[in-house]
Each structure stands twice: as C-alpha cells, then as structure tokens.
A and B are shown apart, each in its own frame.
Chain A
C-alpha cells in the first residue's frame, strides 16, 4: 500500500555545498535522494519513513570516474551503467563490473548508484562484496569537512553505518593494486536477471608459488551486513589451496557467517552455498 505521497518533500539544492548546509542546519531532517531505486520501492510498499529529501541526483560534484596513477575514484552517483562501461574497471576491477551487470535491469542500472547502494546498507546488495574485496575506501563529506574511511567496517549492524546525520557519501576510492590478483565473483540470485541475491561471493587473492600470499573474501546475504570473512582470510594466508585447506577454510567460514531464513531462501541453503562458493574460489586458485 503506497505511502501518502503529498506528505513528502523533495528539495533540489543548487550544489553540494548547499546540500551539506541543509543537512548541517537541520541534522537528521533531510535524507539524500539519488536514483530512487530503493527509496521509491519503499514508498510503494508504504514503508518510506523519512519525509524530507534532498535531490542530489544531478549534483556534478558527486558524479564521474576519476583515474589517477594509483587509484580509481568513483563519484557516489556513479551508476551501474557507468561502472559497466568503464574500461579501467573492466580491466582491473572485474568483480565490480560483474556486480554492476548483475544488479537489476538496464533501467535499474541507469538509476542505481554506488553511493546509494552503500547508503541503503542492504545486506543483499551486489556491489559491496566487490568493494570489500578491493579494500575500497569511502570519502564522507559534511559541512565540517571530509574524511576517508576504509569501507570494511563502514557497516556496523543491520542498516546501521558509520555515517552521522549531516554526512554524505562523496566518493569511493579503489587502489589499483589488484590487477594481478586472481578474482572470482558469483551472485546466486532468485533467477538470472532482476534478482535479489540469496548469497553473493567476491574473492580476490595474490598467489605466490602456489601459495595464497594475500586474500580477500567478502559475502553478501549471509549476515546482517555485507561481510568480510577475515578469520577465513587469515587462515588461508600463506597456505596452498589444497583439499585439506579447502575443507578447513569451509569450516572456518561456516563459523563466521550467520545466515537466516527469510522469504527468499533458507539459512541452511545459504550456509551450504557460501561454503561451496568459497571452495569454488579456492579450486580456481589451485589451477
């Protein structure tokens, strides 16, 4: 049942400064509104709690992909379509491109943004596992200034994050250090397109003489937040991905994740599939 449309306000600030001032002057009163692919769904379901929104969709300060010798820096309003069509990302950050191409449909990808995906804080979001695997950093901005923060640790609980009322996600930064890592992304959704994920897996590893020298493992839909399996990573570091190690890693992962039953899947299925996808990744590393 749709929410009461007349009681919502949307204001379009003239630039980022104006938006941040608005948010600073009335902390918590205004929520940023980007491509609307999450907020409008809540509106339709009668569950859009906030009433006042700042339309940031066209703010140029939040747009664009910047490439430096060390980083790729993505404006918070970078859409999935833009992610998919970036050559640098396709070459060096394939997990993110896969995530973008498996999110929603063409229309959703035209409107859905990376910043929005992070701020919506859904544990089932498709791009956060990829961002975690790449050690992404997030730039938070407010009228008080800006700060860079590791994306790992940004989400602190179900729909909770390290972001206060007057702050906005400005940019996402990826260090161009993993192009030689072996990478694996897999979204297990309810169907092959337009699907919410039941389990989402992103893994990247630097291999040295058959051993795992460094590794990132991130999963979605298996805990209240998108999660990096740090214990499993630790355990794997320095190991050869042998059958015995795979078995042990699988058991470690099982303890790190806390999937639940919901209308899309079961805890049992998610637990099993997460482990199987880890094994699939480790088998790939072994080849």
Chain B
C-alpha cells in the first residue's frame, strides 16, 4: 500500500515542548492553596493494626489526617476484583501497605509528621516465596493463596514420553524488575461534595483511575474526572498503581477542601509501587533424535504479591507465550499466580511473556545440546508456519517467516563465524566471548476476548479551520501515541501531519479507547483512529461539500461550511471484534491474539573470568511487526526495550528482606547507563499483514521478551555455565561456574 505520511519519520508531536523544558509534568503544576500529601505505610509484612499514634513535636491540628474511616465509598482500589484496600483497615498484608495519609502546605513539616506517626501492629506469620505460597505454609489470600490457575492443552503430552528419543527437563527463574521510569509517580487532586473529584497525574490508563475513584467515592461517573499530564515513562508501572495515588490525593483533598499533590520520591516509588512478577518455570520436553519437538510440558508460576491486581492477566499472557513460535503437536502449560506478602507485582512491558520466554529459550539451547544439534538448527526444525497451530490451538493465519528472520539476524551479526571463532579462542582466555540468540513472538492487543470486552472508542472532530482533532483515552508516555495517531489521521484524510491535533486524555472529554498497554495502541486503537478520521471524510463527501482529490484549503472550506450548516463535524467509532476471531476462556484455547510480532535477537557478550563481569558487546534485533508507522520511533521502541532487557538479564536485581525492597535507590538498583548499552542494530522485516492501519501490528513489549534469553544464551556459550536464573549478576555467574568446577 502506497502511503504518504505512514512510514515517514515525522517530528514527534510534542518534541519541541520536551526539548525546551516547557512540557508540563504533574510535579510542574501548582494550584493556589495546594497542600502536599504523603503516605504512611505499615511497617510489618502481615499483621493486625492495634493502634495508630500521632507523636512527636508536631502541630497535628494543622495537618489533614485521613485513615480508612474517612473513605466515602468502598475501601478498595477496584481493578479486576475488590481485594486491595485503598487504606489498610484492620489488617496489613505487606510492608508498603498504605495506612494513613497526611497533608499540609509545608512539605518539610510534613516529612517530620510522617516520621512521627507510629502504627502498632500485631504481627502474623508471613510468606515471601513462591515455594512457601504453593506449599500453603500460611494461607494469606483466598482459600489456597492462588489468584488464578490456567491450563493450556494441545494434543496429549502423556503420549509422547514413551516414544521420545530424548527428554530434557529444567527449571528456570526470573526476578522482580522495577520499571524505573525516570519521572516518579504523582497526582494532584481537587475534590469536594459540591464539585466532585478531579485528578491530574502521571498515568497510562485514565479510565482505570476513573473506575477506581467512582467506586471509592460512590459518586456518579460524571462527577469524577481524570486528566493525564505529560507522563515521563510508564512501561506498565503506571498502569494500575496511579489509581492508588489518585485515590489518596483525592481523599486528602476531599477532607481538607484544598487541592493536594502527592509526588513519590524515588525510594518510595521503587519500594511501594509494582514491579515485574518474579517467576519460576519448569520444562519437560520430549524430542526425537532428529530434533523434532514431540511434547512440551510447562509449569509456569508467578509471584503476584499480596493482592490480585493484574496477576491473572499477566499470568494469561505469560502462559500463552510460554511455548513460543514453535510447532509442537503436544503441549501442556499449567500456569499459576500465587500470593506472597510482598507489595503487589504488576504490569511491566512484556507482561509475563519475558518470564516464560526466558525459560523456553534457555531450555531449547539445552534441548539442542542434549540431542546434539546446533541451537539454531533445533529451532529451524520446529519453527511454526502459516496454517499450523500454536499451543492454544490457534491456527496461524499470517505469513510467518521465522527462518528468514533468523537468516537476517545471523547475517547481520555474523553469527556462525563468531560462534565458531569464540568456541576456538575461548579456552585459556581471561576474557571469553559468546554469541547467543532467542526466537520469539508477541501477541498484539488484549488477550482472547479482552478487546471485545473493552469495546474501545475513539472520536474525531474537525474545526472550521480544517484541523482535525483526535480524542482518545490512549496516552502518550514517550512511546509516540500522539505522533502515530496524527500520522494515521493525516494519512486517512490526505492532510498534512501538522493539521492533526491530539486531545489531552481527560475522561470528561475523550471516549474510553482502552488502556495504553498490551502493544495495542498502534494496531487496535490506531485502526479506530483511522476509522474515525475516515468517517469525518465520509460525512463531508456525503454532504456534497467535498470531493475526492481535495487539498487542505478545500478541506478547510468544506469543514467550515459543514459546521455552519449542520453543527459539529465529528465522529465516534467503536471497536468491532473481527468475526473470524474466537476465544474460549474456559478451555483456554482459540485466537489468543489478532496478530503476532515475530522476532530473532542475537546478543554478543564478553565475560571477564576474573570478575565474572559481563558486557553486552553487540546486539542485533530482527523483527516482523507488520507495517512500520514511524521508523525512528519504532526503532527507538526496540532499542529502549532492549536496554531494559539488558537490565533484566544482567543488572536489575531487587534485594528483598521480608517482602521489602531494601535497595530502593538508583545507586543500588542498577539500570544500564550509556556505558552499559552497546550499539543496537534494529531491522524490520515488514510484511504489512497486521490488523492495524496500513497493516501495522504491535511493537511496544516485543523487545523485552527475547533480549534476556539471547544474552543468557551468549553467556552460556562463552562460559559453559548452566544458566537458570536472571538477573544473572556476576555474583551468580561466579557461583554457577564454581559449582560446575567443584
């Protein structure tokens, strides 16, 4: 398809504001009479609150104090279910659980006041590991500590064990990971019985916050308004937790009658807000001597923390991605999300898939070794093709060229030459080199029937000047929503990119286009943007005011006349689920996603054997993501995701002590700097077959899935270490190597 704006790297819509420091983030806003708000958290992992004491030399009468009894509606942060309280009432279930809120205009005094609140808790036994949760050492949630169990069945795995030439087993682990957006979380609220509740803040999903506040205040929907301010990164971390902060700011505003701003400092943000779910995966794989996968039995467990939040959906995506882009006749995947007394784990780019993909791609290198095949050869013999079925019994109806992606990635990285060269040169060398890869897929949009339930909407409206404004709840957080929506609308309308405006996400003013998550914005919402723009055009055509072949001036003239004659020129488009996509939630099978992105990533590493320090020297990423709407933004998404994947693989280690993150500073939680990320080479193999505009698919989460296993496989190649866990810190690698030699 010939395009004019799509596929071009136009300037980022809000770029100028960002490079001049004019862009306004939540902490940049100040309202007259505004108070600062802070959160006091329970100091115990699990227990009964016995008393709250306001001590010290603090003018407590000047300070607005909110506890659970001040909540006008339901004391919960409504998401999927109602298990997580907004403020602990009676019980605390993790060490970062909010108990008391304070507000005052003097931020310095408020800090002292926060230190002077003493919460007395009678401790109850707590659990902190997946093993203890599964063993039901204590029941801390529901009847059996299980938020959700799912089961994927394809064929009959049991039939394969006896006919297999080789059975390979393995257990793999991934740790928690902090999103570490550079803008800490924050909210400002205004609230009163007369005016309702309005919050402004850094967030991904305005309508999630809206839903939570409606329940918390028991107010009608139109009395609650949520406005997204410029958002300094999200990566999933601002999907669900902003509802908590918005609730807190709003309660303080409601009680004090003044606007209240809550901005987390970095330590609080890291310790209290959500992180990537830690996971444990067990694989048992039956394979024939010629390297054909006969059965994959996978057991995937994630640690959800103390409340359910999004764990069922994270589990779902992780489970579905656990068997990868391979054709295997017999697959069984058992997935479980379990409770521990840690702050709830939540959304983080990849959403369960990076965890299960790490396990699979490490495991397949071991399977290859067991049957005496090169790791690439094993994969090639099992790559899925169009017409074959994935683990969830989804027939793949798109062209899949995994072999071609692998060829491209290997050629660009000189894989075969280096693999051989390093194997020859490594023995005896102090610095060892390795090259490894991972093959993977990532589904675009909500899982299964999720999009059908969401029923997203997008609106467009034209002005008398011939500008078109897109209204959607989809948020810009750096990934480029504003820019690609403008491109899509401009393309559809035959207008210049500059003629398109994007409305600030504000629940009072934009329809609910669904959350900005799940690699759904380009494909799902982008398609709605296209339709909304097209309907504007259609209305002008049908009114006879505009004809094909128009230019910007005639378009503007037609808009002016239309509005003069008929009033507003606008459109509202609702998502229509493709009739051919079916998902059975009970049997956990069917069309899990409308389209997949496919990829092969190659990592090259060096390992200093004296210190076990690892360095990623080169990285090659080849992917098929459908039509690329904006090459610079798309490459930026991949590069940024790979940098986060490097962190996940090698650096980002959360040190836990009884369910609390104890290294919650940027000095001690190690994300990659410009010295730690290599040159990243990104290639797109475009097959414009996605369901999005011009054939686009999803892209945002993809790079998190394959980066860590590619690196781990490269380190395994360099050192021979049997790597089973990430983050693979030098300490862990050294221990692994010493054990192997012992």
Interface residues of A (CB under 8 A from B): 1-6, 41, 44-46, 188, 190-196, 199, 263-266, 268-269, 272-273, 276-277, 279-280
B377 contacts which chain A residues (CB < 8 A)? none
A interface, over-half SS: loop
**B111:A264 contact, CB within 8 angstroms:** no
Q: Which of B114, B651, B667, B734 contacts A272 (CB 8 A)?
A: B734
Q: Are B673 and A191 in contact (CB under 8 A)?
A: yes
A44 proximity list for chain B (CB < 8 A): 265
- Please tell me if the beta carbons of A1 and B675 are within 8 angstroms of each other in the complex: no
User: Are A192's CB and B265's CB within 8 A?
Assistant: no
**Which of A6, A45, A191 has a CB less than 8 Å from the CB of B670?**
A191
Q: Is the CB of A273 within 8 A of B611?
A: yes
Q: Which 8 A-B pairs have the closest CB atoms?
A: A192-B675, A276-B610, A193-B675, A269-B731, A263-B663, A193-B673, A190-B670, A263-B655
> Does B672 lie at the interface of the complex (its beta carbon under 8 Å from any beta carbon of A)?
yes
In the complex, which residues of chain B have a beta carbon less than 8 angstroms from the beta carbon of A265? 731
Q: Is the CB of A273 within 8 A of B610?
A: yes
Point out the residue from B111, B615, B674, B731 that lies within 8 Å of A266, measured CB to CB: B731
A144–B114 CA distance with the chains assembled, in angstroms: 44
Residue B403, interface by CB 8 Å: no
Q: Which of A45, A195, A264 has the most CB of B within 10 A?
A: A264
Complex CA–CA separation, A269 to B662 (angstroms): 20
Q: Which of A1, A5, A41, A277 contacts B115 (CB 8 A)?
A: A1
A-B contact pairs, 24 of them (CB 8 A): A1-B111, A1-B115, A1-B267, A1-B268, A3-B111, A4-B108, A5-B108, A44-B265, A191-B672, A191-B675, A192-B676, A193-B675, A193-B676, A194-B667, A196-B667, A265-B731, A269-B730, A269-B731, A269-B734, A269-B735, A273-B610, A276-B610, A277-B611, A280-B430
In the complex, are the beta carbons of A190 and B651 less than 8 A apart? Answer: yes
Determine whether the beta carbon of B672 is less than 8 Å from that of A264.
no
List, in ascending order, chain A residues with CB within 8 A of B731's CB.
265-266, 268-269
Residues of B within 8 A of A199 (CB): 611
B554 within 8 A of A: no
Contact B673 A188 (CB under 8 A): no
In the complex, the answer to whether B265 meets A276 with C-beta atoms within 8 Å is no
Inter-chain CA distance A284–B488, complex, in Å, is 61
Are A2 and B265 closer than 8 Å at their CB atoms? yes
18 extra A-B contacts, CB within 8 A, seeds A1-B267, A263-B662, A263-B668: A1-B111, A2-B111, A2-B265, A4-B108, A45-B267, A188-B613, A190-B651, A191-B651, A191-B670, A192-B675, A195-B670, A199-B611, A264-B668, A269-B731, A269-B734, A269-B735, A272-B738, A280-B610
Chain A's nearest CB lies how many Å from the CB of B63? 15
Q: Which of B717-742 contact A (CB under 8 A)?
A: 730-731, 734-735, 738
B452 at the interface (CB under 8 A from A): no
B738 contacts across to A, CB distance below 8 A = 272
CA gap between A188 and B613 in the complex, in Å: 8
B720 to chain A, nearest CB (A): 18
Contact between chains at A277 and B610 (CB < 8 Å): yes
Our pick among B108, B265, B668 for the contact of A6 (Cβ within 8 Å) is: B108
Nearest-neighbour CB distance to chain B for A41, whole angstroms, equals 8
Residue contact B610 to A191, C-beta cutoff 8 Å: no
Q: Which chain A residues border B265 with CB–CB below 8 Å? A: 1-2, 44
Say whether B169 faces chain A, with CB atoms less than 8 Å apart.
no
Q: From residue A3, how far is it (CB to closest CB) to chain B in Å? A: 8
What chain B residues lie within 8 Å of A263 (beta carbons)?
Answer: 655, 662-663, 668
Select from chain A the residue with minimum beta-carbon distance to B657.
A263
With a CB–CB cut-off of 8 A, which chain A residues contact B674? 193
Supposing A196-B667, A263-B655, A269-B731 touch, asked if A188 and B611 sit within 8 A by C-beta, the answer is yes
Q: How far, in whole Å, are A41 and B266 apart by their CA atoms in the complex?
A: 12
Residue numbers in A under 8 Å from B156 (CB-CB): none
The digit string for B653-668, where 1 denotes a CB below 8 A from any CB of A, is: 0010000001101011
Q: In the complex, which residue of chain A has the Cβ closest to the Cβ of B655?
A: A263
Q: Is B561 an interface residue (CB 8 A)?
A: no
Enumerate chain B residues within 8 angstroms of A276, measured Cβ to Cβ: 610-611
| Nearest-Cβ distance from residue B99 to partner chain A, whole angstroms | 16
Band of interface residues on B: 20 to 34
- Alpha-carbon distance A72/B615, docked complex (angstroms): 37
B465 within 8 Å of A by Cβ? no
Asked whether any CB of chain A lies closer than 8 Å to the CB of B55, the reply is no
> What is the chain A residue whose CB lies nearest that of B730?
A269
* Known contacts A273-B611, A276-B610; A196/B668 CB under 8 A: yes
Q: How far is the CB of B481 from chain A (nearest CB, A)?
A: 31
In the complex the two chains form, what is the Cα distance from A133 to B734 in whole Å? 28
Interface status of B70 (Cβ within 8 A of chain A): no
B112 at the interface (CB under 8 A from A): yes
Q: How far is the CB of A112 from chain B (nearest CB, A)?
A: 14
Q: Which of B663-690 contact A (CB under 8 A)?
A: 663, 665, 667-668, 670, 672-676
CB-based nearest B residue for A266: B731
Give Cα A94 to B662, complex, Å.
Answer: 36
Q: Indicate with 1 or 0, residue by residue over B272-316, a CB within 8 angstroms of chain A CB atoms.
A: 000000000000000000000000000000000000000000000
Segment 95-131 of B: residues with Cβ below 8 Å from A: 108, 111-112, 114-115
Q: Produce 1/0 per residue, B403-431, CB < 8 A to A.
A: 00000000000000000000000000010
* Interfacial chain B residues near A41, Cβ < 8 Å: 667
Inter-chain CA distance A194–B672, complex, in Å, is 10
Q: How many Å lie between the Cα of A190 and that of B613 in the bound state?
A: 9
A120 CB → nearest B CB, Å: 14
Shortest C-beta distance, A43 to chain B (Å), equals 11
Which of A41, A192, A193, A268 gathers the greatest number of chain B CB atoms within 10 Å? A192
Min C-beta distance of A30 to chain B, whole Å:
22
Q: Which residue of chain A has its CB nearest to the CB of B115?
A: A1
Nearest residue in A to B738 (C-beta to C-beta)?
A272
CA–CA, A46 to B114, complex, Å? 12
Closest A residue by C-beta to B662: A263
Separation of A232 and B710 alpha carbons in the complex (Å) = 42
Chain A proximity mask over B253-276: 1 for CB below 8 Å, otherwise 0: 000000000000101100000000
CA separation between A269 and B667, bound complex, in Å? 19
Over the window 580-600 of chain B, the binary record of Cβ atoms lying under 8 Å from chain A Cβ atoms (1 yes, 0 no) is 000000000000000000000
**0/1 interface trace, chain B 606-636, chain A, CB 8 Å (1 if under):** 0000111101000000000000000000000
CA distance in complex: A266, B653 (Å):
13
A31 to B675 Cα, complex, angstroms:
35
A191 to B430, CA, bound (A): 19
Contacts of A273 in B (CB 8 A): 610-612, 734
| Chain B positions within 8 Å of A268 at CB level | 731, 735
A270: nearest chain-B partner, CB-CB: B731
Residues of chain A lying within 8 A (CB to CB) of residue B655: 263
The complex places the Cα of A277 from the Cα of B608 at a distance, in Å, of 11
Smallest CB gap from A188: residue in B = B611
Contacts of B430 in A (CB 8 A): 280
B663→A1 contact, CB < 8 A: no
The chain A residue sitting closest to B670, CB to CB, is A190
Distance between Cα atoms of A201 and B430 in the complex (Å): 18
In the bound complex, residues from chain A placing their C-beta under 8 Å from that of B735 are: 268-269
**Interchain CA distance A269-B674 in the complex, whole Å:** 26
Q: How far is the CB of A189 from chain B (nearest CB, A)?
A: 9
Interface residues in B639-661 by Cβ distance below 8 A to A read 651, 655
Q: Chain A residue with minimal CB distance to B733?
A: A269
Measured between alpha carbons, how far is A6 from B114 in the docked complex, in Å? Answer: 16
